[in-house]
Amino acid sequence: MIRVENLVKFYGNFQALKGESFTVNDGEIVGFVGLNGAGKTTTIKIATGVLYPTSGDVVIDGYSITKDKKKASENVGWVPELPIFEQDVKALDYFVYIAGYYKIPTNEARSMGKRLFEEVGLSGRENDKLKNYSQGMKKRFALAVSLISNPKNFLFDEVLNGLDPEGIQFFRNLALRLKKEGKAILFSSHILSEVESLADRVVFLHKGKIVKEERMEDLRKLVSTNALRVILNSPSEEALKACKDFGEPTLNNGVIIIQNFKGDLEDVVRALKPYGILDIGYVRQDLESLFFQIIGGNQ
């Protein structure tokens, strides 16, 4: 279990985190969502012990990252957004070197490495130097490294960046397998369709504070709410005002979207007929549109 407790982080005079608190339970996948600069990477780096918080703490399986960093970090597998490794060394040799930190004998580490390289899609590239790996291959290598000690908790920071469709599918299957094994998984991603398909719960972070935390099943109820899209020949503020009785209209690039639509479609047609209706129909919200609604209300 990962427990984030009232984290505050300053960089000089800039406050990156403003007292965030949330929990990732065993056997749960939590999506961590926010714009660039929201504080996701800072949070994850504090949880791994790479950064020290100004105040607050992260407790991992009962161990404080600020008071007992060694014990806390032993039970965490971490994949950073941009993995950095010693470049002029063969991948398998470096894997064995890292495994040595976990007191794994060399022969056992080499066997484990070959098995994990095959699992993450790097079979046949074990003897390539890491400097010759693409960014996607480095991500796969980092995933293999995160599995060395079979930790109970995982922190994945924008892990899907740089992965091809096959790599994304591998990560999806891996995350679901780890969840089934009872692991606690926190992953940040800007690919919100993947968050929607994987996460049990979503934490929305904006400007260093949590603006919403919701179970995915409850978010699906919100995003399944029908909205109405209207394309007009003559879109205008007057046309937008004519839609206010039917929900929450917005006008963007000549298209009116009426969120939380209520009323009758024929009434909308009559109200907007003077503006020349080119197209009208229902649309389904997705997690991305909901996300921008949430942060829009927390500027």
Q: Which of 198, 215, 232 is the last residue of a domain?
A: 215
- Over the stretch 77-120, which tens digit does the pLDDT of each residue have? 999 988 888 888 999 999 999 999 999 999 999 999 999 999 99
Domain that holds residue 172: 2-215
Query: Domain check: are 121 and 203 in the same one?
Result: yes
pLDDT band at 26 (very low <50, low <70, confident <90, very high): very high
- Over the stretch 240-253, which tens digit does the pLDDT of each residue have? 999 998 988 888 77
CATH number at residue 264: 3.30.70
Q: What is the mean pLDDT of residues 46-65?
A: 97
Query: Domain check: are 29 and 136 in the same one?
Result: yes
Measured distance CA(223)–CA(212) in Å, rounded: 14
Query: Domain check: are 34 and 176 in the same one?
Result: yes
CATH number at residue 163: 3.40.50.300
Residue 222's identity, in one-letter code, is L
pLDDT band at 141 (very low <50, low <70, confident <90, very high): very high
Query: Domain check: are 155 and 243 in the same one?
Result: no
Joined together, the tokens standing for residue 181 give: 């094994």
Q: In the sheet where 14-24 sits, what is the strand order? A: 14-24, 2-11, 55-60, 63-64
pTM of the model: 0.79
Q: E strands along the chain, which residues?
A: 2-11, 14-24, 28-33, 55-60, 63-64, 76-79, 153-157, 184-188, 201-206, 209-215, 226-232, 248-252, 255-259, 277-284
Measured distance CA(129)–CA(70) in Å, rounded: 30
Give the residue from 96, 94, 91, 93 showing the smallest Cα distance to 121: 91
- Whether 219 contacts 202, CB under 8 Å: yes
Contacts of 168 (CB under 8 A, 6+ apart): 160, 194
Phi, psi of 235 (to 5 degrees): -70, 145
Structural domains of the chain, count? 2
pLDDT band at 260 (very low <50, low <70, confident <90, very high): confident
Mean pLDDT for all residues in the chain: 91
Query: Domain check: are 89 and 140 in the same one?
Result: yes
- Whether 54 contacts 208, CB under 8 Å: no
**pLDDT confidence of residue 144:** 95
Query: Domain check: are 185 and 272 in the same one?
Result: no
Between 164 and 144, the higher pLDDT residue:
144
Q: Which of 215, 239, 269 is the last residue of a domain?
A: 215
Residue 64's CB is within 10 A of a number of other CB atoms, namely: 15
Query: Domain check: are 279 and 188 in the same one?
Result: no
